[in-house]
Amino acid sequence: MENITLAVLGGTGKEGKGLAYRWAKAEYKVLIGSRINEKAKTAANDLNEMLGKELVKGLENINAAEKADILVLTVPYSAHKSTLESIKEAAQGKIFVDVTVPLVPPKVTKVQMPKAGSAAQEAQEILGENVNVVAAFQNISHEHLFDDHPVDCDVLVTGKGKAARLEVLKLVEAAGMKGWDAGVIENAAVVEGMTSLLIYINKQNMVKSAGIKITGV
């Protein structure tokens, strides 16, 4: 495993904590970021208790972003723009993994894409060309992430630059999932939109963890 530090920004929610848990188990250095320092520390303490070791550290978003090699954003869409603007300088020259889905409550089962085309493209516009924005993990329910077994759902990875996507595919594998290079950042619109479909399927079938699988390859 490479000596890489990951910052999970806005990582105090279930998705962020779940990903941080899996990466810490895979022996990555993991920082949990939040707008509020105490919230980040509490989330890190919770994870360390689960892990049985002091593997995760909690910091304010900006400090976590400055110290990390790869940044991962797991905020609700309502906090997407403000968080991006706050860590823009710290993100320069780095890979930025955007897990955000542009859900607009209360109609979360309806696909509603932003003007930029997708949340990932919006992130690329805000952060600028010196940041490699990669979209991933949008279709993975947090219900899977705290279970100590491989996740039976695939992860589609889209974004700027083949090399950046390959780095993120390593993170997918480290988290116990099967990842696929799904091409350029424009393709993120399809992946992000699929989340609303999965939420609808969950509701129709009274489940919480519908996912996707690529077959025939």
Provide, rounded to the nearest whole percent, the portion of the chain with pLDDT above 90.
90
What is the number of other CB atoms lying within 10 angstroms of the CB of residue 51?
15
Name 4's bridge partners.
none
Q: Which of 71, 81, 79, 94 is nearest to 23 (CA)?
A: 71
CA 164 to CA 172: how far, in whole Å? 13
Provide, rounded to the nearest whole percent, the portion of the chain with pLDDT above 70.
99
CA 184 to CA 171: how far, in whole Å? 18
Flag whether pLDDT at 2 surpasses 70.
Answer: no
Would you place residue 150 in the very low, low, confident or very high pLDDT band (cuts 50, 70, 90)?
A: confident
Determine contact, residues 8/47, Cβ cutoff 8 Å: no
Tens of pLDDT, residue by residue over 62-86, are: 999 999 999 999 999 999 999 999 9
- Domains of the chain (ranges; CATH) run 5-205 (3.40.50.720)
Q: Which of 82, 78, 112, 84 is nearest to 97 (CA)?
A: 84
* Predicted pLDDT of residue 1: 54
* Predicted pLDDT of residue 142: 82
